[in-house]
Structure 1
Amino acid sequence: MYIIKDVENLRKKIKYFKIINKKIGLVPTMGNLHNGHIQLILLSKKYADIVIVSIFINPMQFNNLLDLKNYPRTFERDYTILKNNNVDILFFPDIHEMYPNGIKNQTFVQVPKLSDIVEGQSRPGHFKGVTTIITKLFNIIQPDFSFFGEKDYQQLLIIQTLVKELNYAIKIISLPIVRSKNGLALSSRNNNLNSQEIKIAPYLYEIIERTSEKIIQEGNINIIENVINESKILLLKKGFSIDIFNIYKYKTLDIPDKKTQKMIILASVWLGNTRLIDNKKIFFS
């Protein structure tokens, strides 16, 4: 596995792979890798000849400096995981390589509307940071495929829109949420949960499933408001603080109407000092 820290050397390596007609897959990460990342890597191997994993803790997408400071940095462990899974290139730039003129002077890319609603309201500027760094990675690497998890569903929608509207010749491939045995969606932030919170955290998905089942059983969306309110009460009783818990149109994240057939439950909650996100699709036939 090659470890490359600068853009120029990465481009030289990619140019060689392009000359010999190798398909390139990119798995962008911020490190602190878990089984969800491993599954993305394994998926990428089904599509690409050369798998590149990037590790860059992107300060532009943090609207909380303390959150940025506390984000886990586990390079040695991440390196071992990537090597054991036969990743071809680890791109590991520092902040000066990605933002040579500083974040405040950086040209940015932003997807309108989708970046400003739902989680975008709770985390102003977050998605601007995501789309800017993803655009930079796409421009540097020019992958044929890029792989993202469906846990960050709004982020996935935004990146799909970015690729379509900026005419990138990149296929975005998503991976369904990878969960632990107790149902908790895998996330790097789960490491911040204490022993008591680890016991409580799986109730988030349990309540999401309950919400979905009640709406599907009724066969219509007329009861959504009541079911959502009941679920929020359950979450509060379990010890969660609620940022987002609602149902949206599957592709636009608008509020559903009576004609809506495809919806998604989006949840962003706090458990102690840890923010957990999850989701579940609801499709009416």
Structure 2
Amino acid sequence: MLIFNKKSNLTAFLSPLISQNKTIGFVPTMGALHEGHLSLLEKSLAENDITVMSIFVNPTQFNNSEDLEKYPRTLEKDVEKMSAVSKNIIVYAPTVEDIYEGNTTSQAFEYDGLEHQMEGQHRPGHFDGVGTIVKRLFEIVQPTKAYFGEKDFQQLQIVKKLVSKYEMPIAVIGCAIFRETSGLAMSSRNERLSPEGKAKSALIFSILNDAKTHFKSHSIKETIETVTEAFKKYPEFELEYFEIADEETLLSSEDKDENKKYRGFVAVFIENIRLIDNISLN
């Protein structure tokens, strides 16, 4: 397994392979790898000649300095987990300086309104930070395909929009949410939960499943009210939002349209840790 810390060394290694028309699969992560990340890695290995995984905790997408400080950084363990999947992986684990070259600021992006919904409302500047790092990583790695989990469904749609707007020849592949046996969506932030908090967090997916059932025979407004009331029964949870949105535009909806696909999006705090999840409703 090759590990690069500098983009100049990585691009020098990849350039001749790109000129040979080798396909490159890319899995961008912030580390603290779990089985969800590894499933993306396996998909990339199966579909491409070369697979690159980046591990970089990107400071410009955090609007909470405490969250950035406490975000788990476990590079040594991450490399061990990757090695167990395959030794034929290229790892890019840059420093902030290597990525930002002394100017750790975000570029401003427009995603045709996708950035103003849900996470964009509650985390100002977040998707500028996401766009900045994803665009830079794409320019460095020059992948054929890039793999993202659907747990961050809004981010997935925004990355697709970014690639379209900048006319990048990259296929963005969305992969199903990987869950614990309890149903809790796998996330690097889960590592910060106490065993009790992690067990209780299974409730999130349970409520989402109930919402999916409720949605079949009730209005959007009634389904949102039901989810809100469900979380109120559990004081250990603080519901930041639950919204039902059009999958394509991410716009919140009031009336059902049988020609649209809807998804429920949730963000909650437990033990002062913010968790997100989503579910297809129809």
Q: Which band: TM-score by shorter chain?
A: over 0.9
Deviates more, 1:62-71 or 1:12-21: 12-21
Match of 1:258 in 2: 256
**1:201–1:49 distance in 2 versus 1, CA, 3 Å:** same
- Cα deviation 1:65-103 (Å, max 9, x = unaligned): 111110111011001112222242100110000011321
2 CA distance for matches of 1:81 and 1:225?
43
Residue 109 of structure 1 and its aligned partner are, at CA, apart by 4.0
State TM-score, norm by structure 1.
0.94
The answer (yes or no) to whether the contact 1:110–1:131 under 8 Å persists in 2 is: no
- Is 2:274 the counterpart of 1:275? yes
Match of 1:214 in 2: 214
Match of 1:225 in 2: 221
The answer (yes or no) to whether the contact 2:220–2:256 under 8 Å persists in 1 is: no
1 CA distance for matches of 2:110 and 2:96?
20
The answer (yes or no) to whether the contact 2:107–2:128 under 8 Å persists in 1 is: no
Match of 1:247 in 2: 244
Residue 194 of structure 1 and its aligned partner are, at CA, apart by 1.2
Match of 1:98 in 2: 99
The answer (yes or no) to whether the contact 2:107–2:129 under 8 Å persists in 1 is: no
The answer (yes or no) to whether the contact 1:31–1:75 under 8 Å persists in 2 is: yes
Superposition RMSD in Å: 1.4
Task: Give the residue type in structure 1 aligned to 2:186.
Answer: L
Instruction: Report SS of the residue matched to 1:53.
Output: strand
The answer (yes or no) to whether the contact 2:35–2:186 under 8 Å persists in 1 is: yes
1 CA distance for matches of 2:53 and 2:146?
10
Unpaired segments of 5 or more residues in structure 2? none
Match of 1:19 in 2: 19
1 CA distance for matches of 2:257 and 2:225?
22
Residue 45 of structure 1 and its aligned partner are, at CA, apart by 1.3
The answer (yes or no) to whether the contact 1:110–1:132 under 8 Å persists in 2 is: no
Residue 166 of structure 1 and its aligned partner are, at CA, apart by 1.0
Instruction: Report SS of the residue matched to 1:151.
Output: helix
State TM-score, norm by structure 2.
0.95
The answer (yes or no) to whether the contact 2:244–2:262 under 8 Å persists in 1 is: yes
Question: Which stretches of structure 1, 4 residues or more, deviate above 3 A after TM superposition?
Answer: 106-110
Unpaired segments of 5 or more residues in structure 1? none
2 CA distance for matches of 1:255 and 1:7?
40
Alignment of 1:136-285 (within 5 A): 136-216=136-216, 218=217, 223-238=219-234, 239-256=236-253, 257-260=255-258, 261-283=260-282
Deviates more, 1:163-172 or 1:107-116: 107-116
The answer (yes or no) to whether the contact 2:118–2:243 under 8 Å persists in 1 is: no
Deviates more, 1:132-141 or 1:111-120: 111-120
Task: Give the residue type in structure 1 aligned to 2:94.
Answer: P
The answer (yes or no) to whether the contact 1:110–1:127 under 8 Å persists in 2 is: no
Identity %: 36
Task: Give the residue type in structure 2 aligned to 1:231.
Answer: V
The answer (yes or no) to whether the contact 1:262–1:282 under 8 Å persists in 2 is: yes
Match of 1:116 in 2: 116
2 CA distance for matches of 1:125 and 1:236?
29
2 CA distance for matches of 1:55 and 1:144?
19
Q: How many residues align?
A: 278
1 CA distance for matches of 2:82 and 2:199?
30
